[in-house]
Amino acid sequence: MTAAVSIRQVSQRYGAALALDRIDLEIEAGEFVVLLGPSGCGKTTLLNIIGGFAEPTEGQVLIGGRDMGGVAPKDRPTTTVFQDYALFPHMSLRDNVGFGLRMRGVDRAARAVKADQMLALVGLEGRGDRRPHELSGGQRQRVALARALAVEPDVLLLDEPLGALDLKLRRQMQDELKAIQRRVGTTFVHVTHDQEEAMAIADRIVVMNAGRIEHYGPPREVYLHPKTLFTAGFMGEVNRIPVRDGKAPFGPVPVADGTLLIRPEAISPAGSLHIGLCKVEDASFFGTHIRAHVTPLNAPDLRLVVHLPQTQAVEPGGVLDLGAEAHVVLSE
């Protein structure tokens, strides 16, 4: 089961505070969309409105073309996975997964069959008789996912479901979550504040800030070609270099006025946009790369962050001849 989601001019006010400001968003059926932004940006509020846990002050939400105005959460074609799992500790995994089916009047035998199928889907085959306390955090999150999918929702809502997991397990669950979504084909709408998580799992990312959408697009586009300075900075480290009359602090560049945005990994000795000789201020080994701060000799007030190959010889006080391979210019 799957369905498209249409959000039309949705606003949400809490007294004088505007949590969402005229949000327009189209999510295709079967798509994995991530709502990404800092705390307080409105992403969880928007998820709650899609799920029916809050009614918008203005605007309309449609799921599969049906207006959800006034439709209670239990009557919507959605289910929600929360960060705290919300499993029943006294129930077996099989009964936890089958709980939603039980509320829908499905008989015990049919519930058991479906629950076992869902447990197998999330990699917990043969563990239906266990209790939640016997599982790791990642396994409990899989059970919560199985329970949500057991009722065959058109849209699955995920509210920071991986936030409580350690880094290694979180990355493993990102891979599994994406693989499961591909298998079932359900529309997934996932909330997170983690940029790497969003890029790892999303078909498209919705970058939110102060109740508005800053950028909506595929991960590569959002990261490499941000539409706003906020998106550029929120998606990862970026060098912001002022350009006036075709000149940057380090010399002429083939662009007009604006802000030149260069990701740290785009700067290297082989870069075609010549920056020039740069003094290394400091350097740290990060395993996959060396992160360094450098200052162009012809622009001593400009400090750049660069990610250099792990094999690069880099010492504080040394000098490197650098350039940039990719850049974006914004006029805002």
Domain extent listing, the chain:
5-233, 240-330
Model confidence over 276-326: pLDDT tens digits? 999 999 999 999 999 999 999 999 999 999 999 999 889 999 999 999 987
* Residues 56/12, Cβ–Cβ less than 8 Å: yes
CA 204 to chain centre: 9
Q: Which helix (H) or strand (E) holds 84?
A: none
Mention every residue, 6+ apart, whose C-beta is less than 8 A from residue 49: 7, 10, 12, 20, 55, 56, 61
CA angle 37, 51, 219 (to 5 degrees): 35
Tell me how far apart the alpha carbons of residues 238 and 131 are, in angstroms, rounded to a whole number: 46
Q: Domain 5-233 adopts which CATH fold? A: Rossmann fold (3.40.50)
CA angle 301, 304, 305 (to 5 degrees): 150
151: tokens are 């009722």
Residue with tokens 């074609």: 77
- Reduced to 3 states, what is the DSSP secondary structure of residue 79? strand
pLDDT for residue 183 is more than 60: yes
pLDDT for residue 255 is more than 70: yes
Model confidence over 213-232: pLDDT tens digits? 999 999 999 999 999 999 99
- Residue 330, φ and ψ in degrees, nearest 5: -115, 145
Model confidence over 41-72: pLDDT tens digits? 999 999 999 999 999 999 999 999 999 999 99
Q: Domain 240-330 adopts which CATH fold? A: OB fold (Dihydrolipoamide Acetyltransferase, E2P) (2.40.50)
- Mean pLDDT, to the nearest integer, of 126-140? 90
- Reduced to 3 states, what is the DSSP secondary structure of residue 298? coil
Tell me whether the CATH fold assigned to 5-233 matches the one assigned to 240-330: no
Q: Which of 189, 200, 221 is nearest to 78 (CA)?
A: 189
Residue with tokens 């020039």: 276
Tell me how far apart the alpha carbons of residues 112 and 100 are, in angstroms, rounded to a whole number: 12
The pTM of the full predicted model, rounded to 2 decimals, is 0.91
CA angle 190, 192, 198 (to 5 degrees): 75
Lowest mean pLDDT of 91-100, 187-196, 253-262, name the range. Answer: 253-262
Amino acid at 310: Q
